[in-house]
């Protein structure tokens, strides 16, 4: 069954995300809908739903330019992915994460939107310059969960740089929890029979060349995204 007016909210959008929560006072289900257009997360919407709902009223908040670009596009081979999750400590609060927060292309972050029962919607930007110690996760947010601890909930966020955590507040410090993972996403690899070398192009880790001698060593050539990894073992001046 199509929820009333969602067709209008999704017009000319290239991607959608859903999250839900429950109002503990009324038992009503709360639905959050995030939309993107031109690869950019542009609106976050909220409505209340119960079995007797006939006319649901959507509240909408424009967040275009606050979360990041080129993350949500699901066309032309895009990732079609951004993070979106409701806050278990506040049924009116939802968090979204996209690409980098400029001017630092490698830094990511989240935006929290709290819809008020009456009054203005509150927007919190969980980026470096708003957090303690100017901390930030990596760019390209993929998923968000809330982890309950003895001291309250923590935000756990995964992205192209690994897994990060922070306290569920605006000023809490971001910290990585990647110790021991040693993961990388390889796009392409090649092998040189002459030099006994390997080369790999990796997402967000550029290109690395490995020498398989008595002491194997990897040399990272540069930063950012790697795409091509090739060796030419041909003889100079020859067609071979």
Residues whose CB falls within 8 Å of the CB of residue 235, separated by 6 or more in sequence, listed in order: none
Query: Three-state SS for 132?
Result: helix
Question: Which tokens hold the place of 201?
Answer: 């192009």
> What's residue 114's pLDDT?
95
- What average pLDDT values come out for the chain (240 residues) when binned by 10 residues? 64 85 92 85 87 75 73 44 89 86 66 86 77 75 91 89 85 84 82 87 84 76 78 70
The pLDDT tens digits for 201-218 are: 887 778 888 887 777 777
Q: How far apart (Å, rounded) are the C-alpha atoms in residues 125 and 113?
A: 9
What distances in angstroms separate CA 4 from CA 1, 10, 52, 53, 102, one per listed residue? 9, 12, 13, 10, 36
Q: Mean pLDDT score of the chain, rounded to an integer?
A: 80
Q: How far apart (Å, rounded) are the C-alpha atoms in residues 188 and 198?
A: 11
> What's residue 73's pLDDT?
42
> What's residue 161's pLDDT?
79
Query: Three-state SS for 166?
Result: strand
> What's residue 82's pLDDT?
80
The pLDDT tens digits for 4-50 are: 566 678 787 878 889 999 999 988 899 999 988 877 788 999 998 87
Q: How far apart (Å, rounded) are the C-alpha atoms in residues 113 and 21?
A: 14
> What's residue 77's pLDDT?
41
> What's residue 78's pLDDT?
42
Q: Whose CA is closest to 222, among 211, 206, 209?
A: 206
> What's residue 129's pLDDT?
62
> What's residue 172's pLDDT?
80
| The pairing of beta strand 175-176 with beta strand 186-192 | unpaired
> What's residue 19's pLDDT?
95
Bridge partners of 218, per DSSP, are 210
> What's residue 76's pLDDT?
40
> What's residue 165's pLDDT?
92
CB-count exposure of residue 109 (10 Å: 0-12, 13-18, 19+): buried
pTM check: above 0.85: no
């Amino acid at each position: 069954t199509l929820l009333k007016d969602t067709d209008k909210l999704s017009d000319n959008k290239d991607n959608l995300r859903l999250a839900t929560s429950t109002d503990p006072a009324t038992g009503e289900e709360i639905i959050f809908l995030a939309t993107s257009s031109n690869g950019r997360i542009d609106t976050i919407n909220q409505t209340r739903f119960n079995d007797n709902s006939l006319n649901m009223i959507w509240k909408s908040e424009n967040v275009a330019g606050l979360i990041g670009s080129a993350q949500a596009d699901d066309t032309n081979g895009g990732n079609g992915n951004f993070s979106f999750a409701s806050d278990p400590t506040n049924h009116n609060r939802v968090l979204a994460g996209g690409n980098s927060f400029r001017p630092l292309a490698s830094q990511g972050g989240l935006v929290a939107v709290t819809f008020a029962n009456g009054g203005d919607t509150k927007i919190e930007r969980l980026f470096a310059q708003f957090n303690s110690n100017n901390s930030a996760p990596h760019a390209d947010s993929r998923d968000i969960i809330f982890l309950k601890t003895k001291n309250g909930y923590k935000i756990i966020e995964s992205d192209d740089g690994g897994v990060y955590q922070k306290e569920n507040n605006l000023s809490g410090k971001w910290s990585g929890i990647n110790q021991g993972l040693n993961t990388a996403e390889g796009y392409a690899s090649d092998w040189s029979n002459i030099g006994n070398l390997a080369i790999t192009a990796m997402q967000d880790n550029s290109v690395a060349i490995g020498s398989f001698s008595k002491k194997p060593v990897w040399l990272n050539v540069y930063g950012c995204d790697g795409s091509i990894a090739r060796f030419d073992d041909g003889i100079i001046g020859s067609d071979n």
